[in-house]
Amino acid sequence: MDRPEFLRRLRDAFAFLESAVQSGKIRCYGTATWNGYRQPATAPDHLELAELVQAARDVGGDGHHFKVIQLPYNLAMPEAFTRATQRVHNENVSLLEAAERFGLYVMASASVYQGQLTRSLPPVITGFLPGLSTDAQRALQFVRSTPGVGTALVGMKRVAHVEENLALAAVPPVPWGQFQRLFSAI
């Protein structure tokens, strides 16, 4: 479908969700996409966060309840942090920067890239993320330490995976300076 039709349908969906908020069925809503937020602005499947926020304002006013976005973000897919795919007030910024400016909460999916980042990470990662015992923990620590990421989602099949990942609750996210050094090293 063309862009105007997509935005019309999006406004209709947001209007329905705003009515669900008004009737007390939900508190807020958001969008999730695998590619849309990571694509350059010239890509046909690019999602411009400013357009989505404007659609929410069109139907819900300044007090709209569009509050959350979800996209894949991990060591192998860092575009949300590294690529300026979004335009905010005539400035090109990363998705994470745009979300912060619009007051949106960011949930990162595919934090361990469907298990691919749970083993055989380069030694440089271990050096910058000390005190962790597994590559799965290091991959999650990278995501949860990224400024602007509120939640690092991860699927777990076994109790051992849950225990391994819960161990991170005792470890603070990596400080910004250390995170910057890590990012420039990879």
Supply 70's token pair: 């979800």
The 10s digit of each residue's pLDDT in 51-72 is 999 999 999 999 999 999 999 9
Query: Residue ranges per domain, the chain?
Result: 3-185
Contacts of 148 (CB under 8 A, 6+ apart): 80, 81, 96, 97, 99, 100, 106
When the candidates are 3.40.50.620, 3.40.50.300, 3.20.20.100, 1.10.10.10, the CATH number that belongs to 3-185 is 3.20.20.100
Confidence of residue 186 (pLDDT cuts 50, 70, 90): confident
The 10s digit of each residue's pLDDT in 79-100 is 999 999 999 999 999 999 999 9
pTM of the model: 0.94
The 10s digit of each residue's pLDDT in 97-132 is 999 999 999 999 999 999 999 999 999 898 888 889
